Copies of this chain bind each other. A is one copy, B any other.
């Protein structure tokens, strides 16, 4: 597998003449994530986050500052065409942006194309053709499996099949768009028939999203050795879930309305290139687990296909907001609690010939750590709603209440490199209509 390599764009000593980028927790010049933004209701356009600013790429290119850039991908209001780039094209663009933003001699020409981020609205970065959600967080699968099937938490296929299912693309929204508490059917044991109303077990799920880069043709699987070139980048994903609807509807065909009311993603695409320094070995499987089947096994992927990313989820209730309290951390844990790598889920997805397209989104599934401080959903933290947690405000929570905001963040760390962040994935819950 040909993974993105570490080069001068990862140099820890590099700084930007955009001063807010230096020491910026999310967007130093070593990150350079792509997104789609607009100002004051204008047309959405493509940009790059740098410190507290967004570089307008169409403006930069039309000023002749991105000489190799083919204008066609810049004209759109989504990153789909950019995501279709080959790894070489991606690298060329990254290096050009790094040069523009680190070399002082470009300051005067580039500065007019920098927009203050807090004056911009961020949109979905791509028109998402298809969205697939996996289930690779093995501790989550164990925890949830034990709640739904106490005698049978991990099914026999789990360690052979990267379990996934198709999700709803139309209702994915960027960070900041509120979530309306959905209505639906739920079954209470005391009654024969289900009842209909707002969910009483609204939950978040802490996931990574994987943006598909180059696509594959229908009927042409993606070998593990080619998987990396099909991954454009990553984001955070909150797979909002109505646990009561899910328990009632999910058999035999899987989750449906329990998930499709909305999913929230962080709007910046953290590129595979930016993450090159943060690659780590895929953790060894526990003794006795089967090795991945040959079509899912690649030595290079096992050696460096996981990512040193710390994920966290926090909550701010309405009362906490009113009294100015900081978000309360619900969980924090490493992304390496994935039983399968991103490359493995890409290869598995296409193994039957299914065609993936640039801008498709794959969710990893909830990434929980083995202990409660790293559980990636309230279902797990509250032990299926049986054990409320108490927030610093004195409020108790088993599930998400109206007015609560859930905030996901992620940071990649590696010794000798500048850490990079994902930006925010947040949404506030509004009452059912």
Interface residues of A (CB under 8 A from B): 129-130, 135, 145, 148-149, 155-157, 160-161, 163-171, 173, 180, 182-185, 187, 193-194, 196, 218-221, 242, 245, 248-258, 260-262, 290, 293-295, 348-349, 351-357, 360, 433
Once bound together, how far apart are the Cα atoms of A219 and B173, in whole Å?
A: 12
Pick from B160, B245, B254: contact of A252, CB under 8 Å: B254
State which of B183, B290, B294 has its C-beta within 8 Å of the C-beta of A352. Answer: B183
Q: How far is the CB of A184 from chain B (nearest CB, A)?
A: 5
In-complex Cβ contact of A183 among B160, B294, B351, B433 (8 A): B351
Q: Are A252 and B253 neighbours in the complex by a CB distance under 8 Å?
A: no
Residue from B149, B252, B354 within 8 A of A257 (CB atoms): B354
Are A171 and B261 in contact, CB atoms less than 8 angstroms apart? Answer: no
Q: How far is the CB of A353 from chain B (nearest CB, A)?
A: 5
Among candidates B180, B251, B290, residue contacting A193 with C-beta atoms closer than 8 Å = B290
Chain B contacts of A130 at CB under 8 A?
168-170
Contacts of A256 in B (CB 8 A): 163-166
A254 to B166, CA, bound (A): 9
User: How far apart sit A258 and B253, CA to CA, in the bound complex (Å)?
Assistant: 12
A170 → chain B closest CB, angstroms:
5
Is there an interface contact between B157 and A262, defined as CB atoms closer than 8 Å?
no
B165 and A433 contact, CB distance less than 8 A: no
Point out which of A156, A293, A353 has the most chain B C-beta atoms below 10 A from its C-beta: A353
**Beyond A157-B194, A170-B356, 4 extra complex contacts between A and B, CB < 8 Å:** A161-B185, A165-B256, A250-B252, A261-B353
Tell me the bound Cα distance from A173 to B354 in angstroms: 12
Contact, CB under 8 Å: A249 / B354 = no
The answer to whether A194 touches B293, judged by C-beta atoms less than 8 angstroms apart, is: yes
Q: Hey, which chain B residues are within 8 Å of A245, CB to CB?
A: 352
With the chains together, A213 CA to B266 CA distance in Å?
A: 30
Among A170, A182, A196: residue with most chain B CB under 10 A:
A170
**A42 CB to closest chain B CB, in angstroms?**
22
Decide: A165 and B168 in contact? CB cutoff 8 A. no
From A171, A218, A253, A348, residue with most partner B Cβ within 10 Å:
A253
How far apart are the CA atoms of A360 and B357 in the complex, in Å?
18
CA distance A135 to B353 in the complex (A): 24
Let me know if A155 and B252 touch, CB within 8 A: yes
A167 near B170 with CB under 8 A, answer: no
Q: Which residues of B contact A166 (CB under 8 A)?
A: 165-168, 256, 260
Using CB atoms, name the residue of chain B closest to A291: B193
Considering the chains assembled together, what is the distance between the CA atoms of A254 and B167 in angstroms? 11
Chain B residues positioned under 8 Å from A155 (CB to CB): 251-252
CB-CB under 8 A for A135 and B433, given A130-B168, A352-B183, A354-B261: no
Asked if A253 and B251 sit within 8 Å, CB to CB, the answer is no
Cβ-defined contact, B254 with A157, below 8 A = no
- Measured in the bound complex, the distance between the Cα atoms of B161 and A251 in whole Å is 11
Q: Is the CB of B248 within 8 A of A157?
A: yes
Q: In the bound complex, do residue B253 and residue A135 qualify as a contact, i.e. CB atoms below 8 Å apart?
A: yes
18 A-B pairs with C-beta separation under 8 A: A129-B129, A129-B170, A155-B251, A160-B193, A160-B194, A161-B185, A161-B194, A165-B254, A168-B354, A170-B356, A170-B360, A180-B353, A183-B221, A183-B352, A196-B293, A253-B254, A253-B255, A257-B351
Cα–Cα distance between A78 and B255 once the two chains are bound (Å): 30
The closest CB in chain B to the CB of A166 belongs to B166
Determine if B351 and A184 form an interchain contact, defined as CB atoms under 8 angstroms apart.
Answer: yes
Bound complex: CA A166 to CA B170 (Å): 11
Are B196 and A355 neighbours in the complex by a CB distance under 8 Å?
no
- Chain B residues with CB under 8 A of A242: 352
* Cβ 8 A contact of A251, one of B129, B157, B261: B157
Given A130-B168, A170-B355, A185-B293, verify A180-B260 contact (CB < 8 Å): no
